[in-house]
Structures are given as C-alpha cells and as structure tokens.
Structure 1
C-alpha cells in the first residue's frame, strides 16, 4: 500500500516541485529552477568525480587511472550541492519520496543526452537490507530505478540482495567503508551481461564498486553506475 501511495505522489505535480510558484515543465519543475540546479560539469568518465575545468572533457581522474574500479562508467546529473544536498537526505530520512518523481524525469533526460554507448540490458537498484527497508518504508534507489525503467523502456532486474545488515556508509570513514560491505551482498540468479546500477548519491564509490565486483563474479560483463548526484572527492 505504501509503495502505491508513493507511486501516485511521483506522477502528480501541479506546480514547480521546488519553488511551488511557477508552472512546471515536462520534468515537473519550472525552467528557472531547472537551470539553477547544480549540474555536474566535466566529470571523470569512469567515476564522475568533478574534475578541474582545465582538464579536457571526458577524461579520467588520477585515481581511476591508477586503480581502475570494477565498473566501467558513471553518469551523475548533479554535484551534491543545494538544493540537491537538502532534497536527497529529506527523501530518505524525512520520508519525502515524492521528489523522486521529477528527479527521475530529469535524470532520464540527462542520460538520454549524455549516454553514447549501447544501453544496458537491465537496470538494478542498489539494495537495502530487508529490515532497513521495512524500517524506512521504501528503498529510494528502487523507486528511482523503477521510474527510470518506465521512462527509458529498460527492464528492471531485482536479483541483487543485501544479505547482511551493516552500519550506514555515511557514518564511516573511508577505510571503514571498505571493510563494512564485505560479504554483505549476493546475486540470486545469473545477471544480465550489461547492467546499470541505480542509486541516489555516490560518495567514495565503495558501495557500487563492491556491487560491481559481486555482479561480475556472478557473470556480468559490464556494470555502469547511474546516480542523481556525485559528492566531491573523498579518498
């Protein structure tokens, strides 16, 4: 029932979801708010880390050159700045998932504009442990993935599971993050050859890199990462 109510919220918008004043465009926000969003410019092609504007577009950050991750490419629409840095925590911790409706539409349009490769065979949400999802009432990554699946006409695959409850990554330092997810995920069936992992925020990339390793061990050949926002560097 809760997911049905959330779905109804995601598809209804009478005014701009941000300023609540102007009429929304096809994405659900007005053109002024759309232009003022913290768009991510010149990201690393692999991990989407914001790069200095002096570097050529489409390049790699030093970390991805020295230590390539298990995933092939990351696409993120935004820097983790206001208002995105306020909206995304509110979605998760203040139970305000309605904003995922217009955010998914904006991300879908961004992907259609910036994704030059073959589209993935399926989309897959970063999973939550069942107890954590029950406590929150929803998995924001799952809701986002479901909306992208509809808008991009790509199938949704749910064979990835979180089998061990872990502390929130945001509460941990970098070294602790790396060990926190050890043996925390499992794949229940043969994954598609090419997948896109969906999440709301990418910080260090530890979670998605762990998941990419798990999926490739289970038979996937390529894993891309699609997120709403990328934070500044945290190594």
Structure 2
C-alpha cells in the first residue's frame, strides 16, 4: 500500500518534459502537450506523405500513383512540425538524445494502434557510417529502435551497414539524394522475412526506398518503415 501511494505521488508530480508542469503521464508528457503534438492525420497510403485535410482515407500521393515504392508500408506518427521539428535537430546536432526516450514510448503506443496482427519479425535501424556515428557520439535511429524494441518486445536485427560516407541528405535535391545513396549500404546477414526499418524522420523516402530494395534483394519479403515524423514533399 505504501509503495502504491509513492508510485501514485511520483506519477502525479512528474513534470512534463515539454511544458514543465506537473502531471505528466508515464510517457513523460502531460495530457495537453500530448494532444497538441502534430499528429499525422491525413497521409498517403503508400508513403505517409502529409496530404491536405479531409483527403479521403486510403488516398495515394502523386508520386506513389506514378511509381509504387519498394517498401510495403510507412508508419509515421507526426508531421514534421513544432515541437517535433525543433526537437529532432536538437537530438542530432546539439547532442540531446534524451528526448528519444519519451518520443519512443509515445511512438510505441501509436504503433500498437496501427498493428492488429502481423507484427514485424524484427527491427533494423537505419545505419550511419562508423566515422559519422563516432563523430556524433550516437546513432539516433538505433537509440529509437532500442526504445521500440524494449517497449514492443521485438528483437533488433543488425543486418545493415553503411559502407560509404555521404553528404547529409537534407542538403540535396531529390535526384541528388538518389545518386548520393548509390552503393552506400550493405546487407551483412540474411534478413528476416518481415522487417521494420526505424528512423527518426522521412523526407523524400529515398533512404527508405533504397534500404527496402536492398533488403528485399537479400531475401526479405515485407519491409515496413517506421519513422517518428514525415515531412511535406521536397522537390
């Protein structure tokens, strides 16, 4: 009884990581901040590209209508908008990976609502080149995958590596992004039949498409993409 009271007190008095007020839920944020997150409500059925409000569910964006992607499904929780658009760059470029804890737990809850059956056999994080990861000090996709693996009880699969250091995708146009990733990744072991590739944000889908094609050529049958946030179209 005493420990139960202590746990209730800690829960009620825990401060929200976003607004600082007490009353955070087990994820670490309060109900108001949770509701105000930029949830991705209208999206492309193929690549989760944000679509205009009130677009009929199951619609495809122009790009997916022209050419089907190599991946089978994208699950994205948020639009790349405030505060997510502020926090993700802080994580990567200001070395504040602690935010991935509460984000990952919120994302895990969201994922449970998206999957009734046929969970992936394993998760694989989008790899960084070893030198880039050493310079930054961590791989944010791997940290996110670790949180999801623990929360969802899904194993991690280390079957991908990045063998060539490339310029950051965010600095490049769509065609340049495609050329930038040619021969940049390698499958290092037989992948499971059904994989979910985990990353923090998806912009054009070039990295996701490249990895899905590579994994399927190595024997994977079904490749999902799990990202915290999806950006609007970049031309």
TM-score (norm 1): 0.92
Cα separation, 2, equivalents of 1:192 and 1:123: 9
Larger radius of gyration: 2
Cα separation, 2, equivalents of 1:192 and 1:72: 15
Cα separation, 2, equivalents of 1:193 and 1:223: 8
Cα separation, 1, equivalents of 2:14 and 2:46: 37
Gaps of 5+ in 1: 1-12
Contact 1:80 1:230 (C-alpha < 8 Å) held by counterparts? yes
Contact 2:14 2:22 (C-alpha < 8 Å) held by counterparts? no
Partner of 2:6: none
Deviation at 1:179, TM superposition (A): 0.2
2:39 is equivalent to residue 64 of structure 1: no
Q: Say which SS state the counterpart of residue 196 (structure 1) adopts.
A: strand
Contact 1:201 1:231 (C-alpha < 8 Å) held by counterparts? yes
- Structure 1's consecutive aligned runs of 4 or more residues displaced over 6 angstroms after TM superposition are none
Gaps of 5+ in 2: 1-12
Partner of 1:175: 175
Cα RMSD, aligned residues only? 1.2
Cα separation, 2, equivalents of 1:44 and 1:110: 17
Cα separation, 2, equivalents of 1:66 and 1:109: 33
Cα separation, 1, equivalents of 2:185 and 2:217: 12
Partner of 1:161: 161
Partner of 1:138: 138
2:74 is equivalent to residue 74 of structure 1: yes
Cα separation, 1, equivalents of 2:87 and 2:54: 30
Report the count of equivalent residues: 223
Deviation at 1:138, TM superposition (A): 0.3
Contact 2:162 2:184 (C-alpha < 8 Å) held by counterparts? yes
Contact 1:42 1:58 (C-alpha < 8 Å) held by counterparts? no
